[in-house]
Structure 1
Amino acid sequence: MSRSVKIQSSETQIEVYEFGDGIFNKHHITHTEEIKPFLEVNHKFWLNLYGLENDILLKEIGEIFEIHPLTLEDIKNTSQRPKFEEFEENIFIVSKMIYYKNKSHEPITEQISILFGKNYIISIQENPFDIFDPIRSRLENPTGKMRKLGTDYFAYTLLDTIVDKYFDCLEHAVEKIETLEDHIISQSKNTKLPDIFHQRKTIQQIKRTVWPTRELLSAWKKSESPLVKKKTNPFINDVYEHVIEIIENLEIQRESISALVELFMSNLSLKQNEVMKTLTIIATIFIPLTFIAGVYGMNFEFMPELGWKYGYLVIWIFFLGSTLGMMYYFKKKKWF
């Protein structure tokens, strides 16, 4: 016999939104027993759950909505690939949300599980961070499509919101790449090769998340489930095209990263050439000076110039003259 489970953890919260023509109510659930009456209503409702720590709670929800045990395991296993699975009474979707929290430099990936039946939609998130506020605002609109169309359209809006976040992450990555490019061109010492490779790793992380979403939407487009209405197909195609656009842009950014590596190495090579040129000029200037100093540094007894009164002065005049002469020549040739 099923029993009511009290939601005690502050990390686990359940909200239920009733909606339909002329209906919109929000409920904060404290016991799973409070969910059962919603199954008897004629209008639709959305159950949104934060947190996966309470296994008993998830099991109780699974019993209420007759969720397959393997589906519950997929919900708790947050390393799942995005996928689309059809059952007789409902459709299960695993999606991945990517976002930057508190201006973090690292993208955060979170699994969102979506389950929808004839009159209900369940969304289960790992963390309290929520991107579905625009959906709540749309639900409040009594003339909006979300009130009138089916649960498959509602599931589409959830996925559409998640995909919109992909665009935000892509924009963040593009800005970072442009910043790296500007620093490399300006020869900033703050930019290092590991920074470029780190950004490439971020691009790959986003791509690994977005690519399976394409397969998810492709499976949805081919679905023959009675829960998927033909009216929703144009919207799914639109999200599918958005995902394709994101993947193409990620490929462009990956190529940009490769170009940045080449630019960085070319810049580094130019710097090394400048250093070698400077050292070569200095060495060239000192060659005649070293030669003269070496000749007169020999310990032969009979060297005529050693007894000359103006010998020391003449040597210094030669040193300075040859140095200035070579510097003038190098300057004329624009070698420095």
Structure 2
Amino acid sequence: MSILSKKTGTSPGSLVYIGQGGEHPVEMVHFSYDLDNLDLKTFSFQDVPRPDQDRKNLILVFGVHEMEPIRAVGQRFQIHPLILEDIVNTKHRPKLDRSEEHIFLTMKTCLWADQDQGVRLDQVSFILTGSTLVCFLENRDVFPDEFQKRLAEKQGRLRSMDIDYTLYALMDLFVDNFFLALEKLEDQLDLLEEEMVEQPREEHLQKIFQIRRTISAIRQTVWPMREILSSILSRNEDLFGQKTRVFFRDLYDHCQQIMDSLELQRELNTSLHEVYLSLISHRMNTVMKLLTIIATIFIPLTFIAGIYGMNFEYMPELSWPAGYFICLGFMAAIGLGLVGFFKLRRWF
């Protein structure tokens, strides 16, 4: 049964977790900072902090499979139930919504699992309101450790620029994960090509289809993300400050590079499929050619054996003392002659 069927019959705004996570309890962290100070505090959903309006605030929620923490954060920041519903639905398409109180943005990031499972796509959702950014992550391992190190640096842009730059910085790190996954996919395609040329096997075809599905899933994720960034950069949108829009333009370029790389890898994957079919066909033709040569050699020998296997009373060769050896020699001469002829024509 599809996990999406969990929402069947529920009212709009009902919080039903749609996803594959939920192995670890929900964790929540609050970063409160300005140019000079940085405070870090973990909290529970019973004690959601009230942001300091004089400082920038980053609230990280690791895990969206428990509804009480999501409701508590939603009540604190007056997040609409329909947006909370999108946050806990990790199969949701990336999108950008704007209201009078806040900006809601949801996107995907990916991690390379292993060669068998390929990439894992995780949802990341943002709520930007005032000087506070709330980030909901499906799993903790998608959050990069280097971000906290950058936040601790007083000389970095994270401490000096507005909170919308923090949103960009996180989005940039999550988008960069796609480049790492594409490098792994490219290595897999190169290795697959080498193995196929040496000896094509059925598991190679299964691997080709798996990589094709992975490329398609990443493309369906990055394509709407590129449209979101295009909307942010359009002249009709003033969601972010001019200083930050420059960085979002660079992020748009990254998404475009990912799309270009996906197109190249999809073409390479299609070419590998064609190469696999060609190699299998070539190997089959080689086998059929060898069997045809063997059958051609034995056809005249079978004909001779069939003649002397008939039960006629008057066959003068049967009474010859050397008839058996003469017949064998004649058959051997025919067989060797055919082999020499095929060799001369370079048929094998």
Instruction: Please say whether Structure 1 and Structure 2 have the same fold, judged by a TM-score greater than 0.5.
Output: yes
Q: Are 1:218 and 2:230 counterparts?
A: yes
Tell me the CA shift for residue 40 of structure 1. Answer: 3.2
Is the 2:107–2:124 Cα contact (8 Å) retained in structure 1?
yes
Q: Are 1:135 and 2:147 counterparts?
A: yes
Q: Which residue of 2 aligns with 1:42?
A: 54
1:267-278 to structure 2, matched below 5 A, reads 267-278=279-290
The equivalent position to 1:201 in structure 2, one of 199, 210, 213, is 213
How many pairs align?
326
Tell me the CA shift for residue 288 of structure 1. Answer: 1.4
Is the 2:48–2:76 Cα contact (8 Å) retained in structure 1?
no
Show structure 1 runs of 4+ deviating over 4 A.
223-227
Secondary structure class of the residue paired with 2:118: coil
Tell me the CA shift for residue 58 of structure 1. Answer: 1.5
Q: Are 1:52 and 2:61 counterparts?
A: no
1:239-258 alpha-carbon deviations (Å, 9 max, x no partner) = 10110111111111111111
Q: Which residue of 2 aligns with 1:91?
A: 103
Tell me the CA shift for residue 207 of structure 1. Answer: 0.7
Q: For structure 1, which segment, 195-204 or 23-32, has the greater mean C-alpha deviation from structure 2 after superposition?
A: 23-32
1:272-287 to structure 2, matched below 5 A, reads 272-287=284-299
Secondary structure class of the residue paired with 1:52: coil
In structure 2, list runs of 5 or more residues that go unmatched.
Answer: 1-22
Q: Are 1:245 and 2:257 counterparts?
A: yes
Q: Which residue of 2 aligns with 1:13?
A: 27
1:11-48 alpha-carbon deviations (Å, 9 max, x no partner) = 11101112211111211113543502xx2341111100
1:157-216 alpha-carbon deviations (Å, 9 max, x no partner) = 111011101111111111111122112211243644222122111111111111111111
The equivalent position to 2:196 in structure 1, one of 184, 196, 218, is 184
The equivalent position to 1:158 in structure 2, one of 166, 170, 178, is 170
Is the 1:32–1:61 Cα contact (8 Å) retained in structure 2?
no
In structure 1, list runs of 5 or more residues that go unmatched.
Answer: 1-8
Equivalent residue letter for 2:168: Y
Equivalent residue letter for 2:152: E
Tell me the CA shift for residue 276 of structure 1. Answer: 0.9
The alignment-based identity, stated in percent, is 36
What is the root-mean-square deviation of aligned Cα atoms in Å? 1.9
1:67-109 alpha-carbon deviations (Å, 9 max, x no partner) = 1222111112222111111122321110111112366533211
Secondary structure class of the residue paired with 1:74: helix
The equivalent position to 1:26 in structure 2, one of 10, 25, 40, is 40
Inter-CA distance 78–17: structure 2 relative to 1 (3 Å threshold): same
Structure 2 Cα separation of the partners of residues 278 and 191 of structure 1? 26
Tell me the CA shift for residue 225 of structure 1. Answer: 6.5
Structure 2 Cα separation of the partners of residues 32 and 116 of structure 1? 22
Q: Which residue of 1 aligns with 2:248?
A: 236
TM-score by length of 1: 0.92
Structure 2 Cα separation of the partners of residues 89 and 222 of structure 1? 21
Secondary structure class of the residue paired with 1:101: strand
Q: Which residue of 2 aligns with 1:4?
A: none
Q: Which residue of 1 aligns with 2:74?
A: 62
Inter-CA distance 105–33: structure 2 relative to 1 (3 Å threshold): closer
1:237-281 alpha-carbon deviations (Å, 9 max, x no partner) = 111011011111111111111111111111111111101110111
Structure 2 Cα separation of the partners of residues 29 and 101 of structure 1? 30
Secondary structure class of the residue paired with 1:81: coil
Is the 1:118–1:227 Cα contact (8 Å) retained in structure 2?
no
Q: For structure 1, which segment, 45-54 or 182-191, has the greater mean C-alpha deviation from structure 2 after superposition?
A: 182-191
Structure 1 Cα separation of the partners of residues 101 and 344 of structure 2? 86
Q: Which residue of 2 aligns with 1:316?
A: 328
Structure 2 Cα separation of the partners of residues 223 and 32 of structure 1? 42
Q: Are 1:109 and 2:121 counterparts?
A: yes
The equivalent position to 1:72 in structure 2, one of 84, 98, 111, is 84
Is the 2:45–2:69 Cα contact (8 Å) retained in structure 1?
no
TM-score by length of 2: 0.89
Is the 2:192–2:204 Cα contact (8 Å) retained in structure 1?
no
